Structure 1
Amino acid sequence: MTANKKLQATLGATCAALSLFGAAFQAQAAATIVINNINAAGVGFNDATPAVPVGGNTGVTLGEQRLIAFTHAANIWGATLTSSQPIVINAQFSALTCTATSATLGSAGATSIFRNFANAPKADTWYSYALANKLSGSYLGTLNAAQINANFNANLGQANCLAGSSFYLGLDGNHGSNIDFIATLLHEMGHGLGFQTFTNGSTGLQNGGFPSVWDHYLLGTVTGKLWKDMTTAERQASALSVDKLVWTGPLVTAAIPQVLRMGSPGLIITGSQAGVTTGLHAVGEASFGPPLSNTAVAGTLMPITTSTGTLDLACNPLSAAQALAAKGNVALISRGSCGFTIKVKNLQNAGAKAVLIADNAAGVPAGMSGTDASVTIPSVRISQADGVALLSALAKRTRNSSGVFASLAVTGSQYSGADPLGRMMMFAPNPYQGGSSVSHFDVTAVRNQLMEPSINGDLTHSVLVPLDLTFKLLQDIGW
């Protein structure tokens, strides 16, 4: 059984074989998708808790609404894909990794992989079960065996599992501050259909010594090699290369100008007290709040500090003195201890017009995940080094003025989420994130993409251009 890929929420475990319980639901269009509900009685998709119909979902129990939502998502994929062979998914709700501020929403993957089957486009190359069936025109392995295993978090919204958030089961996308279950379903089905490599990114080892079809299109720009041609050590390093791992599939590359925003986000520092911090700085964008644009958001930069003079975490409502520094200004705080959305919401409540969050570890500033529809001010992550330098430059400030000015905007001709040559960047953080690294689009993509590693509140239910690149990547590998 192959490793599952997971979708996270921040404010994949292997599936055990289970006997079938409950009905199978079928979605049929250009491809037929069969959903096997393998939850036990009273659990998950069979939960009999009464529920009020919501957003076009007419189910009257929690389990029924979950199944209706799954069928709706399967219909979206079924209308998009073409295959003469049914796509069978074993689906269940179970306990997945959780904390009070983050949760694994779901995990999914192909149950088996195949190579050198009839009509295989590439020799000695692994394909996911559903894609291999499509390409071969026959049902490989055991007839009607499940090709995809999918798990969803049964504890979401409970204490110590992203408390206060829940799956929105409506079909209309009006999820508010909750998590859109349809988007989660589409994401996990995407992994099962083949949006993943079967090469171990943590070790660099190929599965059985053979590359995945994914590896024919995955390029490390440090070596200039495709993953299929790299050494084990080169693949291991490439999986940690941050912004140096790209997708070379021609269909994704051609569609980027129709989907992604042109321009890269940046922080420009000016002012009489800016000193060595003057100039352009790299930032990581937030998946929540308004996206940056060509129109700059600018203001006096003020640090929000503790009684000892260090940058505050802003995990709690600001004190009166801190609020005075934040009001009407761009606030500088530190990463750590609580979710990004919590920090930014506290600064927003204090009247800040934008927020810079200094990283608490060295490295290139990555994007910031999280979902909160009530956040209306922009925020970015900056590097730890920039945070230290800016705090030093702000040492001569008064209570509400500093002589340092910050401007957040999008500039240049590089597409957000693509490298300078216009190739889609893939998720390659350092350190490696099991279940997420390599097999997702990078979090720098704007607009946000379905197959990023964390859920974003602005996702639609489309997998197609001009809103999304997911199906183009699946077409690159053979769909």
Structure 2
Amino acid sequence: MRTAKLLAAFALACAVGAAQAAATITIINTNAPGEGFNDPTPVAPVGGNSGATLGQQRLIAFQRAADLWGATLTSTVPIRIDAAFIPLNCSANSAVLGAAGANEIFSDFANAPRAGTWYPSALASKLAGADVTTPDQPHIVARFNSRLGLFADCLPGSGFYLGLDDKFGSGIDLVTVLLHEFAHGFGFQTFTDDESGEQMLGLPSVWDYYLLDNRSDKAWVQMTDAERAASAVSGNGLSWNGPLVTATVPRVLAHRSRLVINGAAAGDAAGSYAVGDASFGPPLSRRPVTGPLMPVADQPDGSGLACAPLSLAAALAVRGRVALVDRGGCAFVDKARTVQEAGAIGMVLADNQPGALAGMTGADPTITIPSVRITQADGQLLKSALQRRSRSRSGVIASLGTDPRQRAGADASGRILMYTPTIYEPGSTVSHYATDAKPDQLMEPFINTDLAHTVMPPRDLTLSLLRDIGW
């Protein structure tokens, strides 16, 4: 049996609880007295978390995440998570929240489904029917930022929400973050180097059998190191080809949003555009919102920021039409509110810098028009078509709706896309789902505000992937 150590284990302290369900998951508190889980700072109960100290509430939140996973996974081997809250890198504007992962990986253990293949220790133990780990070692190591939101130099005012009810407001929901990080420890990651493409000690990860380059139709196990490295930064060129995830995609992922442009003056701009969705306003549907596209021009250079009430002429230009605005100057919701108050029936926001497609964050229940975001390049194409407009007519028609043939976050064959930005992102590239899935998925590289405390269909595809690899 071959093994590899991934994360250094800290000295064990006391075991603090176990989930009594399909799998037993024990959180092992490795903090010293007075620190982390043992922090004695008094706190008030919050969101169903009755802990009387900061340390107790942290521990209860950890156990809630363990309980949720324990009720979902199946294993006769108890799973140990070595956990601590410690100071991690942070500043006034950014911070490391925390991380978790498999402590060791194993190949060629008893009952291994694939020979010469790496499995994380928790999964290897489940498949073997006995604990395969090095004696006294945890299956998963988790480290989280003890200073987050509590100090002026560590995202002040943006600390962990320790409630158990998913009502985190402006805080960062710790239970959601833990569900995500524990999934990495259970095996939601490849152990092949996704920057160089080099396999660990010459052996593939179980993931590599299911990572499919959707352009060459080759799995990672069939590729060279260079081919894997190129696939990892292919920009939506890598899909998950596991049967359970693919079969479940239609139950979980909504149809992809799109912007369709036509009309007598559309010219080269005619066609279908990929868009980023807004977290505010009504969701797009198969019944599109359609109307003439008109730009907001409220700046001296002809651009339109829509950050202040529009002039009478600018408001007349967008009334009853879809407004094209530029990014910058104010929040997305402010722009949508401005054009809505001017009478627009929808908003298309053009990015102001090159980059990958992204959505729009924010919340305002008074916004009733749909909004989408397009890339800078697509925005420039639309602006070129609109140069021939009059004050009230453009001859360009915009439809904001969904594509019934395509799922958001999936490739043309209905397989969910993996996160493969064209610029390599350590710790995020490959071992996450793509960010354009709708609804947002737990295992995207960024924690979204609309996530629920669930890991399974019909809301989420995390459990489906873990079952593809053997859970």
Q: TM-score, normalised by structure 2?
A: 0.86
Are 2:295 and 2:304, in contact at CA under 8 Å, matched by a contact in 1? Answer: no
CA shift for structure 1 position 90: 1.6
CA distance in 1: counterparts of 2:30 and 2:281, whole angstroms: 38
SS of the equivalent of 1:135 reads helix
Deviations 1:60-94 (A, max 9, x none): 22221121111111111111111121111122234
Deviations 1:251-293 (A, max 9, x none): 11111222122x3211123456544323321223346664322
1:230 aligns with 2:235: no
SS of the equivalent of 1:107 reads strand
Q: Counterpart of 1:143?
A: 135
Alignment of 1:280-299 (within 5 A): 280-286=272-278, 290-298=282-290
Shift of the 234–454 alpha-carbon distance from structure 1 to 2, 3 Å rule, reads same
Q: Residue 357 of structure 2 is aligned with which of 350, 356, 366?
A: 366
Q: Residue 27 of structure 2 is aligned with which of 19, 22, 35?
A: 35
Of structures 1 and 2, the one with the larger relative CO (CA 8 A, separation 6+) is 1
Q: Counterpart of 1:178?
A: 171
Q: Counterpart of 1:420?
A: 412
Shift of the 96–294 alpha-carbon distance from structure 1 to 2, 3 Å rule, reads farther
Q: Residue 103 of structure 2 is aligned with which of 111, 135, 147?
A: 111
Alignment of 1:65-144 (within 5 A): 65-96=57-88, 98=90, 103-144=95-136
Q: Counterpart of 1:10?
A: none
SS of the equivalent of 1:350 reads helix
The CA RMSD over aligned residues, in Å, is 3.1
Q: Counterpart of 1:50?
A: 42
SS of the equivalent of 2:58 reads helix
CA shift for structure 1 position 439: 0.7
Alignment of 1:308-457 (within 5 A): 308-310=301-303, 312=305, 317-318=307-308, 330-334=322-326, 343-352=331-340, 354-360=346-352, 362=354, 365-368=356-359, 370=361, 372=363, 376=367, 378-395=370-387, 404-457=396-449
Q: Counterpart of 1:241?
A: 234
CA shift for structure 1 position 395: 3.9
Shift of the 267–53 alpha-carbon distance from structure 1 to 2, 3 Å rule, reads same
SS of the equivalent of 2:63 reads helix
CA distance in 2: counterparts of 1:164 and 1:358, whole angstroms: 31
CA shift for structure 1 position 164: 4.2
CA shift for structure 1 position 359: 3.9
Q: Residue 159 of structure 2 is aligned with which of 155, 159, 166?
A: 166
Are 2:194 and 2:229, in contact at CA under 8 Å, matched by a contact in 1? Answer: yes
Deviations 1:72-127 (A, max 9, x none): 11111111111121111122234445566665433211111111111111011000
CA shift for structure 1 position 161: 5.2
Q: Counterpart of 1:218?
A: 211
Greater CA deviation, 301-310 or 130-139? 301-310
SS of the equivalent of 2:71 reads helix
CA distance in 2: counterparts of 1:378 and 1:100, whole angstroms: 34
CA shift for structure 1 position 398: 7.5
Are 2:15 and 2:26, in contact at CA under 8 Å, matched by a contact in 1? Answer: no
| Amino acid in the other structure paired with 1:50 | P
Deviations 1:115-146 (A, max 9, x none): 11111110110001111111112222323311
CA shift for structure 1 position 37: 2.1
CA distance in 2: counterparts of 1:176 and 1:324, whole angstroms: 36
Greater CA deviation, 89-98 or 109-118? 89-98
CA distance in 2: counterparts of 1:127 and 1:24, whole angstroms: 27
Shift of the 401–50 alpha-carbon distance from structure 1 to 2, 3 Å rule, reads farther
SS of the equivalent of 1:472 reads helix
SS of the equivalent of 1:265 reads strand
Q: Counterpart of 1:250?
A: 243
CA distance in 2: counterparts of 1:289 and 1:186, whole angstroms: 28
Greater CA deviation, 105-114 or 265-274? 265-274
SS of the equivalent of 1:214 reads helix
Are 1:176 and 1:373, in contact at CA under 8 Å, matched by a contact in 2? Answer: no
CA distance in 2: counterparts of 1:444 and 1:270, whole angstroms: 25
Are 2:81 and 2:142, in contact at CA under 8 Å, matched by a contact in 1? Answer: yes
Are 1:331 and 1:347, in contact at CA under 8 Å, matched by a contact in 2? Answer: no
Instruction: Give the gaps of 5 or more residues in structure 1.
Output: 4-14
CA distance in 2: counterparts of 1:411 and 1:307, whole angstroms: 37
Greater CA deviation, 36-45 or 301-310? 301-310
Are 1:218 and 1:246, in contact at CA under 8 Å, matched by a contact in 2? Answer: yes
Deviations 1:133-186 (A, max 9, x none): 111122223233111111233344465655543322222222234332221111
CA distance in 2: counterparts of 1:361 and 1:193, whole angstroms: 38
CA shift for structure 1 position 329: 6.0
Shift of the 190–370 alpha-carbon distance from structure 1 to 2, 3 Å rule, reads farther
Q: Counterpart of 2:464?
A: 472
Greater CA deviation, 32-41 or 446-455? 32-41
Are 1:89 and 1:146, in contact at CA under 8 Å, matched by a contact in 2? Answer: yes
1:260 aligns with 2:248: no
Shift of the 370–154 alpha-carbon distance from structure 1 to 2, 3 Å rule, reads farther
